[in-house]
Amino acid sequence: MVAAMMPGLLGPACGRLALQSFGASLLGPTSRLLLPLASQHSHGQPRCLSSSASPAAAAAALAAEAVAPPPAFINDAVRRIAPAHRFSPHAPRVKALLVDAAGTLLIPSESVTDVYLRAAARHGVVGLSEAEVLDNFRRAYNTPWGGSQLRYVDDARPFWRHIVSRSLGSSDEALFEEVYSYYSEARAWRLAPGAVAALTKLRAAGVKLAVCSNFDTRLRPVLAGLGVDQLFDAIIVSAEVGAEKPSPIIFEAAVQQLGVAPPECVHVGDDRRNDVWGGRDAGVTAWLWGSDVHTFDEVARRVLHMQRAGLTAWGLGDEDDD
């Protein structure tokens, strides 16, 4: 999981929203709340709000957290595909890697609470504490969104306007635009350590690459601003596809654009429900960021090993993880 170039992402310390990876994050040093990003767990408090989460993990989690409730056509209990082909020499070998954006590839560059409160002060909204902003954000985030199952429609302004106004207690349009615009810029994000080197190595080895994220239309400009858009053969954005993870539709769109079969793909993301269960439901192998794999270098080594050995991805990180 979410979820990301939106107005807020919790960062490392739950007390200080430190936006460090298309969801909603608002925390600081030990929790992550991506404002305008998709998210990890669609039920209950966003994992990124955990005070025990590391900065990177925190940022990663909320991006996933902001994901909308599952589309109507997806069962709440997303079924998982059993790891039937564990290193079978007859199964399709890995040909493509899909990566989640916020919380995996992208990390907020500064605390969300800092960003929110700084913007609020400039527009005359004062007297709010970090704890209040965080609590307001949680409440807004956990409130069912409109009559649609999708949070990210086009630029997702309605959704993020709702989040920002509830978080800061102000419907000032200029205030919202300042926060929203900030997360539209590359400076609001940083790439996960080692991501560029690892992805470049995979691309040189003939592995097709794609971003597959619950995000709004700001994702493409952000990736371009960070200079990595050309690394990917496809960029799949939920706001453009009209479906959000864990729906198989978004994974199917990625597979089709890459010209590969689902069993030939590995997807890496920080949300168990949206990325792992959703990916497996679409027939794609899925690794949980921060659990199955921890760095992009590890992802590259595993994918290249399987590619050289002619092994399927199924079975790696696909154990029952209830």
DSSP for 204-250, written as a single string: HTT-EEEEEES--TTHHHHHHHTT-GGG-SEEEEHHHHT--TTSHHH
**Whole-angstrom Cα distance, residue 87 to residue 15?**
45
Band of residue 93 on the pLDDT scale cut at 50, 70, 90 = confident
Task: Tell me the mean pLDDT in the region 194-203.
Answer: 98
Task: Tell me the mean pLDDT in the region 38-47.
Answer: 37
Burial of residue 112 (CB within 10 Å: 0-12, 13-18, 19+) is buried
Query: Tell me, what DSSP letter sits at residue 154?
Result: T
C-alpha 54 chain-centroid distance:
16
The yes-or-no verdict on residue 297 having pLDDT over 80 is yes
Give the pLDDT of residue 62. 40
Q: Which residues contact 66 (CB under 8 A, 6 or more apart)?
A: 2, 3, 6, 22, 23, 24, 25, 34, 36, 37, 38, 39, 46, 141, 151, 214
Question: Which H helix or E strand runs over 268?
Answer: strand 265-269
The yes-or-no verdict on residue 180 having pLDDT over 60 is yes
Which of 137 and 59 is assigned the larger pLDDT? 137
Give the pLDDT of residue 145. 73
Residue type, 226: L
Q: CA separation (Å) from 165 to 37, 92, 162?
A: 16, 49, 5
Give the pLDDT of residue 146. 66
**Whole-angstrom Cα distance, residue 37 to residue 58?**
13
Q: CA separation (Å) from 220 to 85, 161, 215, 283, 290?
A: 35, 20, 10, 26, 25
Task: Tell me the mean pLDDT in the region 270-293.
Answer: 96
Give the pLDDT of residue 315. 46
Give the pLDDT of residue 1. 41
Give the pLDDT of residue 138. 84
Band of residue 307 on the pLDDT scale cut at 50, 70, 90 = confident
Task: Tell me the mean pLDDT in the region 101-127.
Answer: 94
**Whole-angstrom Cα distance, residue 319 to residue 184?**
37
Q: CA separation (Å) from 78 to 151, 258, 279, 281?
A: 19, 24, 10, 7
Which residue stretches of the chain are H helix? 55-65, 112-122, 130-141, 157-168, 173-182, 195-204, 219-225, 238-241, 248-258, 278-281, 296-309
**Whole-angstrom Cα distance, residue 93 to residue 106?**
28
Give the pLDDT of residue 92. 63
Band of residue 209 on the pLDDT scale cut at 50, 70, 90 = very high
Handedness of CA 295, 298, 303, 304 (dihedral sign): positive
Query: Tell me, what DSSP letter sits at residue 273?
Result: I
Give the tens place of pLDDT for each residue, 181-192.
999 999 999 999
Task: Tell me the mean pLDDT in the region 6-28.
Answer: 36
Band of residue 42 on the pLDDT scale cut at 50, 70, 90 = very low
Structure tokens at 207: 């592995």
Q: Which residues contact 294 (CB under 8 A, 6 or more apart)?
A: none
The yes-or-no verdict on residue 314 having pLDDT over 60 is no
pTM for this model (two decimals): 0.71
The yes-or-no verdict on residue 122 having pLDDT over 90 is yes
Question: Of 223, 229, 222, which Cα lies nearest the Cα of 184?
Answer: 222
The domains of the chain, with CATH numbers, are 96-105+189-309 (3.40.50.1000)
Give the pLDDT of residue 184. 96
Q: How confident is the prediction for the chain on average, in pLDDT?
A: 76
Band of residue 147 on the pLDDT scale cut at 50, 70, 90 = low
């497996």: which residue's tokens? 280
Give the tens place of pLDDT for each residue, 214-271.
999 999 999 999 999 999 999 999 999 999 999 999 999 999 999 999 999 999 999 9
Task: Tell me the mean pLDDT in the region 105-119.
Answer: 93
Structure tokens at 126: 């004062």
* Range scoring the smallest mean pLDDT among 51-65, 80-94, 127-141, 163-177: 51-65
The crossing angle, in degrees rounded to 10, of helices 112-122 and 157-168 is: 80
The yes-or-no verdict on residue 81 having pLDDT over 90 is no
Task: Tell me the mean pLDDT in the region 71-92.
Answer: 40
Question: Of 250, 244, 309, 307, which Cα lies nearest the Cα of 284?
Answer: 250
Cβ–Cβ < 8 Å for 11, 31: yes
